[in-house]
A and B are shown apart, each in its own frame.
Chain A
């Protein structure tokens, strides 16, 4: 009996230990996942080595995953086509009379650009470069600038189209259309909560507004018209997906054409050379994500083949079957793991394990998806390991400890919102239920 237990866990132990060692000692993530999974196959010895290859290929065959390169492409195009610049002007105009105006701009911009740029890290990187210098010029502290840009990137995790949600839908078998709709209200609430936080800090610090009065309606309308096509963009995506005109990946290809059309013929800032540059950028961005996805599917197979969720859920359900106790413990666990591991990897590796467990106690998979995405993305903005945090800090040349100090009020606001979203699932589910049923 004892022997058989050792036998049955040891390959899994090898997987977990080798993965941890690889991860800590900076092996590229994709290979850390791939190699530790193959080590499992070698140790286990009962499976054919053809399976890892089969599973790697399967990931590339899923039509839903085509949405990943498309939205990355569209996001990169928006930056190259001058769409992003116009959105910044619009956001600055409507927040010009608020204290700490540029802090509001970064929050609003993340909300409007949503996840078009694909990931929180891309969003934070782009805004640190474009907005960061003006914030420092306006005498904001480096820590505040980095923290507000870094943490407002969290909005992209839920506002559609979010690549994280696409991956969650893919791995968990959850409707991506529903997830997109479900992310809207939490995204808007997140925007409000973060803007409120910016206001409080700015008033305390005396960060001045750039002008006394709100911009006149005329000016707001004229800047709105200038970037009308850019603002229409997220709206079009949701509408076309919901009404069954496009699947999420088709909507992605539409987004690419749309951004190209606007850039070439409306704003006329896009050139053929720029498109080629963007294409190169996109192929690399896409490969980085997709290679991780491809290798993770080997890991995913090991999880299913060894019936890990079933075993784990028997153990966990043995402790308690109380819905909220389980949900909150799992979310806390995700927050902990999220502090150390990259968000997409967390979604790919942990969704197949935890989704069946929370579903068995009656948590809605769409609700869980929004909470999970927010939490694992937040992990990228906190110490000790946070790609978005490092991005903002390195571009703004800001010491991490200043970033950490200044991020506390934002984190408090985020945790309050997360608590609300957990306790009132309707905040998340209201929109998808109203539209789909």
Chain B
């Protein structure tokens, strides 16, 4: 019996996530002698991340690269890592997703019809990209900033001072060009892959989110796989996530140089302290104080 998994992502073919998905494809198809095929659909071809998540829930053979914010609708705890400054850097975020506590939250998604294949696809840290310089939270006041739509992210962005608005990633470029939004917050690889550096003058290096994402399939489809294939898929997905994260981390300096030298984008090294102070309110507002504390304990 043959199986096919359609891997969907909103980022394009130039993104490290695409390379990771290809790595997954090669190895899974090799280890299953081509009986478990992987097809990759970049640039949101299959629909929005939320849409693909829904397809997976309803038994489709799709998997989406998705983030904690979008998963928090199903398992609230997971959203805590999507709050601004939940982790100070990549290493801390990597440790968080490896804790047993976090794994137990992932498990809860299975009851909702989703199965996390791996939660280690690091896409970079997100900063504000704008046409006006941003040095302190006050500078963000009155700016309409594009974010992916989910309560955790929007709350974080408004706590940092801006007005968030949800737009599909693919519409960010025209929205910037036409001045519909004053900026967006994103990681460098996705920015470059979408040529968005053409639309901005400044990057305020707030690094407020460590964008650790997951490859999530439908529980119904996953459990229909033979045990052996399940194991292969989980192992290879984890390796592919690590592979993609490596590329991300390796390329960051290059991306930055390209943006500075070829596109005259100015990087502003902001003082994160006032931003971090403001973000603290979000844990309380969204009721994440308990989870945040548990995570800090688990890290020790």
- Direct contact between the two chains A and B in their complex (CB within 8 A): yes
Q: Are B60 and A304 in contact (CB under 8 A)?
A: no
Given A301-B47, A304-B46, A305-B46, A244 contacting B179 (CB threshold 8 A)? yes
Given A244-B178, A247-B180, A301-B47, A51 contacting B41 (CB threshold 8 A)? no
Q: Are A241 and B178 in contact (CB under 8 A)?
A: yes
Count: A-B pairs, CB below 8 Å? 47
**Cβ of A58 under 8 Å from chain B:** yes
Q: Are A304 and B41 in contact (CB under 8 A)?
A: yes
Chain A interface: which of B51-59, B95-103, B137-145, B281-289? B51-59
Q: Which residue of B lies closest to A55 (CB)?
A: B47
Give complex CA distance A245, B59 in Å. Answer: 44
**Cβ of A229 under 8 Å from chain B:** no
**Cβ of A228 under 8 Å from chain B:** no
Q: Are B55 and A50 in contact (CB under 8 A)?
A: yes
Q: Which residue of A lies closest to B170 (CB)?
A: A173
Give complex CA distance A175, B6 in Å. Answer: 29
List residues of chain A with CB within 8 A of the CB of B170: 173
Q: Which residues of chain B from 151 to 194 have a CB within 8 Å of any chain A CB?
A: 170-171, 174-175, 177-180
Contact with B along A237-249 (1 / 0, CB 8 A): 0000100111100
**Cβ of A273 under 8 Å from chain B:** no
Q: Which residue of B lies closest to A48 (CB)?
A: B58
Q: Are A54 and B179 in contact (CB under 8 A)?
A: no
**Cβ of A47 under 8 Å from chain B:** yes
Q: Which residue of B lies closest to A176 (CB)?
A: B174
Give complex CA distance A176, B175 in Å. Answer: 11
List residues of chain B with CB within 8 A of the CB of A246: 178
**Cβ of A177 under 8 Å from chain B:** yes
Q: Are A51 and B60 in contact (CB under 8 A)?
A: yes
Give complex CA distance A46, B48 in Å. Answer: 20
List residues of chain B with CB within 8 A of the CB of A176: 174
CB distance from A279 to the nearest CB of B (A): 26
Question: By CB atoms of chain A within 10 A, which of B6, B170, B178 has the most?
Answer: B178
Given A55-B47, A58-B48, A173-B170, A48 contacting B178 (CB threshold 8 A)? no
Q: Are A54 and B178 in contact (CB under 8 A)?
A: no
Q: Are B174 and A54 in contact (CB under 8 A)?
A: no
Q: Which residue of B lies closest to A240 (CB)?
A: B178
Contact with B along A100-140 (1 / 0, CB 8 A): 00000000000000000000000000000000000000000
List residues of chain A with CB within 8 A of the CB of B175: 247
List residues of chain A with CB within 8 A of the CB of B45: 304
Give complex CA distance A305, B177 in Å. Answer: 30
Residue among A173, A247, A307 making CB contact with B178, cutoff 8 Å: A247
CB distance from B224 to the nearest CB of A (A): 12
CB distance from B279 to the nearest CB of A (A): 29
List residues of chain A with CB within 8 A of the CB of B171: 63-64
List residues of chain B with CB within 8 A of the CB of A47: 60
List residues of chain A with CB within 8 A of the CB of B48: 58
CB distance from A432 to the nearest CB of B (A): 12
Q: Which residues of chain A from 341 to 400 have a CB within 8 Å of any chain B CB?
A: none
Given A48-B58, A50-B58, A304-B41, A177 contacting B47 (CB threshold 8 A)? no
CB distance from B81 to the nearest CB of A (A): 27
List residues of chain A with CB within 8 A of the CB of B174: 175-177, 247
Residue among B41, B46, B55 making CB contact with A48, cutoff 8 Å: B55
CB distance from A393 to the nearest CB of B (A): 40
CB distance from A305 to the nearest CB of B (A): 7
Q: Are B177 and A177 in contact (CB under 8 A)?
A: yes
Q: Which residues of chain A from 35 to 56 have a CB within 8 Å of any chain B CB?
A: 46-48, 50-51, 54-55
22 contacts between A and B (CB under 8 A): A46-B61, A47-B60, A48-B55, A48-B60, A50-B54, A51-B55, A51-B60, A55-B47, A58-B47, A63-B171, A175-B174, A175-B177, A177-B174, A241-B178, A246-B178, A247-B174, A247-B175, A247-B178, A250-B180, A301-B46, A304-B45, A305-B46
Q: B residues bordering A, Cβ < 8 Å?
A: 6, 39, 41, 45-48, 51, 54-55, 58-61, 170-171, 174-175, 177-180
> With A51-B55, A63-B171, A305-B6 given, can you name 10 additional A-B contacts, CB distance below 8 Å?
A48-B58, A48-B59, A48-B60, A54-B54, A58-B48, A58-B51, A175-B174, A241-B178, A247-B178, A301-B47
